[in-house]
Every structure is written in structure tokens, then in C-alpha cells.
């Protein structure tokens, strides 16, 4: 783990974008239709470009170049949330994940725009200009699939059920988060941001009568990723339960996260990492 | 699926720059932006159902795409990619590494069992 909590924050943000961007890019040539193929490929490019901005900001803290940060680390050194590394599955899961992820990304970027660290605030504002498209895209598909034919709605609901516990873990506390909150680098705690996200997701799901997904949500049990054996045992992993309280959805109970922020990943990431970093490892210093 | 023309404003006139297939106006507007205006090509656009005269202009014309510079979005950045690709492929082959999984295996399996992503 990095010693500097600011570096931990940047790597968590950048790794999320890089890894989910890599997964999104796997749809290129395979999305449901040509126009959507281009749209999703653009989103994949955006996410990778956002990762690059964040790695560039991390360069002086890490003492490593952006490419080395993106492609030259061991799997257990990546700090993305586990949801980003999961295979794409069907379009229902992909849409559910993109919706849950980009809403979460928008909420944390909105908070970071007021960071006391000016450079980070600037990068967050720049990234958010494009994230707007991602949220629009996600919400369009969310509504369409939710209102669409039975099969579309069922696939979306099933994707949401599958993605939800791991999406909550996007807000897993960062190691060293107290220091980041104390000096205003992170203007709101991850748990506070989880509350904002949940409120929005809850309202959206209620609007299309899919809030049963939240009711049926169970705390992460078997879904907890198995460590590849390389990471040290972290704290007890637990994702909170969800309840409707005073007209909005809130989380209750312990929130240990899923371990992604401490470098605990699943075998799905091992496979992705192997492909993503293959060229970089085979030909060190290769330039394009 | 209906076919829509995508138009871009040129001075005081509109010029057709492409087309999209979409079931309705909302998705047509979305696809028009995603396929034609994500790289800073212009600051306003419209769509028109083929055979119709009714022009639907994007309500908001600020900041359409291209806010972050990335050279890989330009056609000329891809000049010579084929040669580079062959060179890398050869270097990797010498190291005993071959790219044997051109597509995500889970999708390939789904297609094989008829449960494709396009279903």
C-alpha cells in the first residue's frame, strides 16, 4: 500500500477507470447494434483517458510514469473496486453495472471538485464534463430496459441484483481516509458518498418499480471475492444491508467493503491483468 | 428500426453528415451525438427522420465532446498501425507469446450456445 493517502486515493480512482474501461472496451464489435457499439467504445476510451489524467497527477507522488502506474504493477497493487474487474456478462449486467458505476463516479467527482487539493479539484471538474455523457447514456438504457419488453426488464433486474453488493463496495473506506478528510482533500467520507448514491439509486429504482432489488439485497456473503492468496488478510469484509427510512434508502450495519481498496481481487482480475499488461511486461519500455 | 439523418450546422444552413438507426427521437438524438459529435466536431447538431422535413435540434449546444485531448482519437494517429502490430506480434512470437484470445471467451461461449449478446 502507498504511504501517502493522496496516492492511495488517486490510484483507487484511476484504477477504477482503467479497469472498467478495459472491460467496456471488450464490447467493441459486439454491442447490440452499431451505434451502441460506437457509444460504448467512446465511453471506454473516456474512462482510460480519465485514468491517464489521474495517473499523471500521481506521477510525482509515486515517482513512476503514468504508463508504469497503469501497466507496471502487480495485481495486488491495484486498488480498484472488485465490480470493475467482473466480466461483462450480458447487456443487462453491463448496463446495470455502467449505471451503478457511473452514478457513483459522478457523485464522488462532484465531491472532489471542492477538494482542498486544487490540482485534483481541477482534474475532477474536467473529467466530470465527460462523465455527464456516461450518466446520460446509463440512464437512457436503464429506463429503456426497465420499461422495455419483459425479457429486457428481467435481464436488467438480474444484472442489478448481481452488481449491487459489489457496487456498494465502490465506497469502501480508503486506507488513510481519515487524513484525507481532515485536510479537505476528500471533502466527504466514502460512507457519506455512499449515502448520497444510495438515495439516488433508490429513487431511480422506485420510479421504475424495481426497488425490490434493494429489498432483496443481502449482505455480501458468498460474493466476497476470494483473495488470490497474494494479498494479506484484510479486515472482515462486509457490505451493509439496505433499508427504506423516512422515504429514502439508507445503508445499515457494518461497512467493511470488499477489499478492492486494499488490493484484494478475484481471479477475474488476474485474467484481465494478464491481458492488459501483457505487452508492457513482454517488451519493457515499448512505445506506441 | 427507423433511419434518421444526422445534420450539422454550417453557418446558416444544415448539412447532412451521416445517419443512425433508432426506434425513436430520444435514442436518435443520443446515437447521433455518440456516433458523430464526441470528438469536438461541432457545437450543435440535429436529426431528421428520413422522408420527413421536421428538424429536431439538440436543445443544448455547449460542450459536445472532445473536452479531453487524446491523440488516439485522431485518424492520423493510427497511421502505420498495421506495421506496428505486425512488429509487436513478431517480437512476442519470438518470446513464445501469442495472442490466442481475440474476443472475450464468455461472449464467444454465449454465441456458441445461441445466447448471444445480440439476442
Q: Domain A5-76+97-188+269-282 in CATH: superfamily?
A: Ferritin, core subunit, four-helix bundle (1.20.1260.10)
pLDDT tens-digit series, residues B79-113: 777 887 888 888 888 888 776 665 555 655 666 66
Contact A130 B67 (CB under 8 A): yes
Chain A: closest CA distance from residue B20 (Å): 7
Q: Residue A209: what pLDDT?
A: 94
B117 lies within 8 A of chain A by CB: yes
B92 lies within 8 A of chain A by CB: yes
Contact A278 B104 (CB under 8 A): no
How are the residues of chain B apportioned to helix, strand and coil, as percentages rounded to the nearest 5? 35, 25, 40
- In a mutational test of the A interface, the residue from B68, B96, B112 whose CB has the highest number of chain A CBs within 10 Å is B68
CB A85 within 8 A of CB A269: yes
* Domain locations along chain B: 2-57
Chain A: closest CA distance from residue B35 (Å): 6
Contact A39 B107 (CB under 8 A): no
Contact B31 A39 (CB under 8 A): yes
Q: Which residues of B touch A49 (CB under 8 A)?
A: 68, 70
B21: closest chain A residue by CA: A35
ipTM of the complex: 0.79
* Domain locations along chain A: 5-76+97-188+269-282
Nearest to B115 by CA among A86, A151, A75: A151
Calpha distance A21→A29 (Å, rounded): 15
Q: Which residue blocks in A84-226 are alpha helix, DSSP H?
A: 91-112, 118-147, 150-168, 177-182, 190-207, 212-216
Tell me the mean pLDDT per 10 residues along chain A, length 288: 93 98 94 91 92 96 95 96 95 96 98 98 93 92 93 96 92 93 95 93 94 75 44 52 82 74 93 93 76
Q: How far does CA B62 lie from the centroid of its chain? A: 20
Percent of chain B with pLDDT over 90: 32
pLDDT tens-digit series, residues B19-77: 999 999 999 999 998 888 887 777 789 999 999 999 999 876 555 555 565 555 555 66
pTM attached to this predicted model: 0.84
How much is the CA Rg of chain B, to the nearest whole Å?
A: 20
Contact A283 B35 (CB under 8 A): no
Nearest to A87 by CA among A127, A30, A153, A141: A30
CB A280 within 8 A of CB B88: no
Amino acid at each position: 500500500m502507498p504511504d501517502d493517502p493522496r496516492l492511495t486515493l488517486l490510484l483507487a480512482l484511476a484504477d477504477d477507470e482503467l479497469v472498467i474501461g478495459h472491460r467496456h472496451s471488450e464490447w467493441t464489435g459486439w454491442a447490440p447494434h452499431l451505434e451502441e457499439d460506437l457509444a460504448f467504445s467512446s465511453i471506454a476510451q473516456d474512462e482510460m483517458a480519465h485514468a491517464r489524467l489521474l495517473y499523471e497527477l500521481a506521477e510525482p507522488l509515486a515517482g513512476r510514469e503514468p504508463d508504469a502506474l497503469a501497466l507496471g504493477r502487480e495485481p495486488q497493487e491495484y486498488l480498484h473496486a472488485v465490480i470493475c474487474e467482473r466480466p461483462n456478462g450480458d447487456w443487462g449486467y453491463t448496463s446495470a453495472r455502467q449505471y451503478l458505476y457511473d452514478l457513483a463516479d459522478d457523485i464522488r467527482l462532484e465531491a472532489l471538485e471542492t477538494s482542498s487539493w486544487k490540482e485534483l479539484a481541477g482534474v475532477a471538474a474536467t473529467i466530470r464534463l465527460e462523465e455527464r455523457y456516461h450518466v446520460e447514456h446509463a440512464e437512457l438504457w436503464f429506463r429503456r430496459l426497465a420499461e422495455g419488453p419483459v425479457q429486457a426488464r428481467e435481464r436488467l433486474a438480474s444484472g442489478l441484483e448481481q452488481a449491487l453488493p459489489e457496487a456498494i463496495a465502490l465506497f469502501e473506506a480508503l486506507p488513510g481516509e481519515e487524513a484525507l478528510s481532515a485536510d479537505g482533500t476528500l471533502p466527504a467520507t466514502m460512507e457519506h458518498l455512499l449515502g448520497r448514491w444510495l438515495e439516488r439509486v433508490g429513487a431511480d429504482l422506485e420510479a421504475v418499480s424495481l426497488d425490490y432489488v434493494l429489498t432483496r439485497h443481502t449482505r455480501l456473503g458468498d460474493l466476497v471475492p476470494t483473495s488470490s492468496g497474494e494479498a494479506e488478510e484484510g479486515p472482515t469484509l462486509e457490505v451493509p444491508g439496505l433499508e427504506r427510512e423516512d422515504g429514502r434508502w439508507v445503508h445499515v450495519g457494518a461497512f467493511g467493503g470488499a477489499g478492492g481498496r486494499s488490493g484484494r481481487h478475484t481471479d477475474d482480475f488476474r485474467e484481465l491483468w494478464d491481458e492488459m499488461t501483457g505487452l508492457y511486461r513482454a517488451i519493457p519500455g515499448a512505445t506506441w | 428500426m427507423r433511419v434518421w439523418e444526422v445534420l450539422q450546422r454550417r453557418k446558416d444552413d444544415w448539412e447532412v453528415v451521416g445517419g443512425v438507426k433508432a426506434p425513436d427521437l430520444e435514442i436518435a438524438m443520443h446515437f447521433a451525438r455518440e456516433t458523430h459529435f464526441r470528438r469536438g466536431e461541432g457545437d450543435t447538431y440535429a436529426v431528421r427522420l428520413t422522408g420527413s422535413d421536421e428538424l429536431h435540434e439538440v436543445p443544448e449546444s455547449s460542450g459536445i465532446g472532445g473536452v479531453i485531448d487524446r491523440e488516439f482519437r485522431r485518424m492520423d494517429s493510427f497511421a502505420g498501425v498495421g506495421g506496428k502490430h505486425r512488429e509487436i506480434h513478431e517480437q512476442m512470437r519470438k518470446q513464445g507469446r501469442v495472442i490466442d484470445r481475440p474476443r472475450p471467451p464468455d461472449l464467444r461461449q454465449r454465441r456458441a450456445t445461441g445466447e448471444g449478446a445480440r439476442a
